[in-house]
Amino acid sequence: MGEAAETPKPGDRVLEAYIRQEALRLDGAYADDLASAGHWAQRRDEYRRQLLWMLGLWPLPERTPLQPVVTGAVEGDGFVIEKLHFQSRPGLYVTANLYRPKNAEGRLPAVLYGCGHANKGRDGNKTAYQPHGIWLATHGYICLMIDSLMLGEIAGIHHGTYRENRWWWHSRGYTPAGVECWNCIRALDYLETRPEVDPTRFAVTGRSGGGAYTAWVTAADDRVRAAIPVSGMSDLEDYVKPPVINGHCDCMFLYNTYQWPWTRILNLAAPRPLLFTNSDADTIFPMTGNERTIERLRKLYALLGKPEHVDAFVTPGPHKDVSPLRVAAFGWINRFLKGDTSPATEPDKYPTVEGKELWAFPGDLPKDEVNTKIDQLFVPRAEVAVPDTLRKLAALRKKLLTELRETTFRAWPEKLPTASLELGDQPLSGTIATESPLVAGYRYFPAPPPSLPEGGGRGRVHPIDKDRPSPSPLPRRERGAATTCWLLILNEGDMDETLPDWAAPIIGDDASVVLSPRGVGPTETTIKQPYYFRRAMPLLGRTMDSGRVWDILAFVHAVKRPRTIWKVAGKGQAGILGAYAALFDERIAEIVCVEPPATHDDGPYFLSVMRVLDIPDALGLLAPRPLTLRNASAKPFDKTAAYYRAAGSQATLKRN
């Protein structure tokens, strides 16, 4: 019997509606690219920089020596397959096969072929696409076919969030799409070194994952003269549907920090020739998205005066490499690299070389490879130097918060919501709008009377029961006196009916609010849905956790409680959420983090935050405000202490 389906929770529907709403909003911005040809020309270079940044490639890595090695060759009928490897950066090996005509003369046009998700084990997925290389070589082309990172001879990882729970990829700004794009750029560099290649006539194509890599490198590198992405790209409206995104590997996506309509990636090919090809029954590239994409591309190419440079081709069938898709690609390449408009054809059957015969490494794999740990190395982490004076600390705080607002938290709305909430002397519970249609849940516990009956304890730790009479009004406070209210942030899975156990010794007899940001309490989701939400949010330029910081800010903004001193506390990741809220709202006068993680590798996960700073830096920027780190003896927090020394406020940092 199959596993019983979980009963959906209200949070599922609310968050799905929010994701769809945001996807439609961002995709709708495709019209911005159609304002005028001049408008597009003015912005194209900046768009390319943004693309590279979202792939983890800006600033561009150093083009280190490729160190190419041809390890052997296989001869066929009219073609030769060279087995080779090169290093796109030291230790990052790209294994490849180069197909060339057997007796060609002069410089020939070249095609870079990116391979899809064909699992051929040690052979590498390049061995699954031999017909493409053979056809091109026997028709007067050089074809360089490269393995992908995960399915090459040296198997790295694509499925970081898809399968391995490596949510820290979000914090580091790492996506394997960036590696695949870089490997393609360096593959073009390699082709330029070959004496038989004409570097002015490059085309690139590939199917599925290879279709996505085709889009990345075409957008990133103007050396590509013609492109044919095959079943490799859709739009946000379709991508964020659970059945679609859950079927996609991490290498298919960049982190949409700059809030792009997804079509803009392909727009960066314009006005170079682009053939957009798909299958009509492909469940992970639905035709609805394909049709919207090509319609938008046609409008841009017409605007740029090259309508003949873009077209679409659709074949009946599922997500599969089939003859009509290959023939369409071959015809497009012939047309724009050779000026040959005659119909392309292919044989009924191709010769096949056994996969092992095409190994770029016929023996042992290299011991200096970094393919298997490139996710830890590819995107540089920020190295923030601790300032030595209060003035320098203030300047650094301004600089880093500006960077965070322009990248990591760019998706926050421009304005805080207009919601209003009165907190008085009576317990309250409910929700408050933070970002349509999202809400944060709260439970308010007023400060207890100055004295309680013996053994009465803190009656407010009990759940608020609507059927019980309201407690007696509390004594009036001295007019004009400031009062303290603690904002206690919950994590996923926490119960929101009572004060958390860890909070009582922190808040004493102060008033408090237990806050349930998105995905917690009223918007709690089913067990399976967090996977979907966590993967969909980066396509919209955010994470669940960055949205939770916004929820905290929105709540503090909404509360109408004069002369209130706000303090924030949380356990684990929630404590860091509160600390970030304090960074962006100086009304939060004190911060307590209980058992905080020492690095964003362990959460909370914000897009590319570690390209700007890490948790010890963020906490240090709070100086000189009081900060307590409970059960936080990890050495990284020594750096936080250094910030406080620079501010001359060592006494306001407590570690216990």
Tell me what the mean pLDDT of segment 88-111 comes to: 97
Question: E strands, 6-148, where?
Answer: 69-75, 79-89, 92-101, 108-114, 142-146
Give the angle 340-346-347 at the CA atoms, nearest 5°.
Answer: 145
Tokens 């990116």 identify what position?
A: 114
Question: E strands, 233-284, where?
Answer: 274-279
- Phi, psi of 279, deg, nearest 5: -110, 145
Buried b / exposed e along 491-523 (16+ C-beta atoms within 10 A): bbebebeebbebbeebbeebbbbbbbbbbbbbb
SS (H, E, C) 361-416: CCCCCCCCCCHHHHHHCCCCCCCCCCCCCHHHHHHHHHHHHHHHHHCCCCCCCCCC
What does the block give as tokens for 530? 């967090």
Contact 279, 320 (CB under 8 A): yes
User: Are domains 12-376 and 395-447+486-651 of this chain identical in fold?
Assistant: yes
Pairing of strands 69-75, 79-89: antiparallel
Pick from 652, 650, 651, 647: which is nearest to 389 by CA?
A: 647
Instruction: Give me the pLDDT at residue 161, please.
Output: 97
- Tell how far CA 484 is from the center of its chain: 38
Give the integer Cα–Cα distance in Å for 456 and 504: 15
- Ramachandran region, residue 180 (left: φ > 0; alpha: ψ -120 to 50; beta: rest): alpha
Contact 614, 599 (CB under 8 A): yes
Tell me what the mean pLDDT of segment 468-494 comes to: 67
Does the pLDDT value for residue 529 go beyond 90?
no
Cis, peptide link before residue 473, omega less than 30° from 0 = no
Instruction: Give me the pLDDT at residue 11, please.
Output: 92
- Phi, psi of 647, deg, nearest 5: -85, -5
What does the block give as tokens for 589? 């006068």
Does the pLDDT value for residue 6 go beyond 90?
no
Instruction: Give me the pLDDT at residue 563, please.
Output: 87
Give the integer Cα–Cα distance in Å for 642 and 396: 14
> What would the pLDDT profile of 176-222 be if each residue is shown by its tens digit?
999 999 999 999 999 999 999 999 999 999 999 999 999 999 999 99
What DSSP line would sit under 251-265, residue for residue? GG----TT---THHH
Helices 573-584 and 544-558: crossing angle in degrees, nearest 10, is 50
Give the angle 66-145-195 at the CA atoms, nearest 5°.
Answer: 55
- Confidence band, pLDDT 50/70/90 cuts, at residue 482: confident
Pick from 431, 411, 417, 585: which is nearest to 516 by CA?
A: 431
**Residue type at 141 in one-letter notation:** Y
Confidence (pTM):
0.94
Does the pLDDT value for residue 487 go beyond 60?
yes
CATH number corresponding to 12-376: 3.40.50.1820
Instruction: Give me the pLDDT at residue 23, please.
Output: 98
What does the block give as tokens for 442? 């709260």
Give the angle 484-486-583 at the CA atoms, nearest 5°.
Answer: 100
| CA–CA distances in Å: residue 487 to residues 193, 207, 294, 464, 504 | 62, 51, 49, 17, 12
Contact 206, 114 (CB under 8 A): yes
Instruction: Give me the pLDDT at residue 480, please.
Output: 53
- Phi, psi of 193, deg, nearest 5: -85, -15
Instruction: Give me the pLDDT at residue 462, please.
Output: 34
Q: Is the dihedral of CA 45, 50, 55, 57 positive or negative?
A: positive
Pick from 484, 494, 495, 519: which is nearest to 589 by CA?
A: 484
Pick from 386, 348, 423: which is nearest to 621 by CA?
A: 386
SS (H, E, C) 480-498: CCCEEEEEEECCCCCCCCC
Give the integer Cα–Cα distance in Å for 554 and 538: 21
What does the block give as tokens for 641? 């202490």
Domain boundaries, the chain: 12-376, 395-447+486-651
Q: Which helix (H) or strand (E) holds 136?
A: helix 130-137
Instruction: Give me the pLDDT at residue 466, please.
Output: 36
Neighbours of 182 (CB within 10 A): 26
Query: What is the distance between the terminal CA atoms of the chain, rounded to a whole angstrom?
Result: 52
> What would the pLDDT profile of 414-451 be if each residue is shown by its tens digit?
999 988 999 988 999 999 999 999 999 999 999 986 54
Instruction: Give me the pLDDT at residue 363, please.
Output: 94
> What would the pLDDT profile of 303-337 be if each residue is shown by its tens digit?
999 999 999 999 999 999 999 999 999 999 999 99
Q: Exposed/middle/buried for 212, CB within 10 Å: 0-12, 13-18, 19+? A: buried
Neighbours of 327 (CB within 10 A): 17
Pick from 45, 41, 42, 65: which is nearest to 53 by CA?
A: 45
Contact 114, 204 (CB under 8 A): yes
**Residue type at 414 in one-letter notation:** E
Instruction: Give me the pLDDT at residue 452, please.
Output: 43
- Average pLDDT, whole number, for the chain? 93
> What would the pLDDT profile of 562-590 be if each residue is shown by its tens digit?
889 999 999 999 999 999 999 999 999 99
- Tallying the residues shown for the chain, one arrives at 656
- Confidence band, pLDDT 50/70/90 cuts, at residue 607: very high
Q: Which CATH class is domain 395-447+486-651?
A: alpha beta
What does the block give as tokens for 629? 């780190």
Instruction: Give me the pLDDT at residue 450, please.
Output: 57
Tell me what the mean pLDDT of segment 442-461 comes to: 61
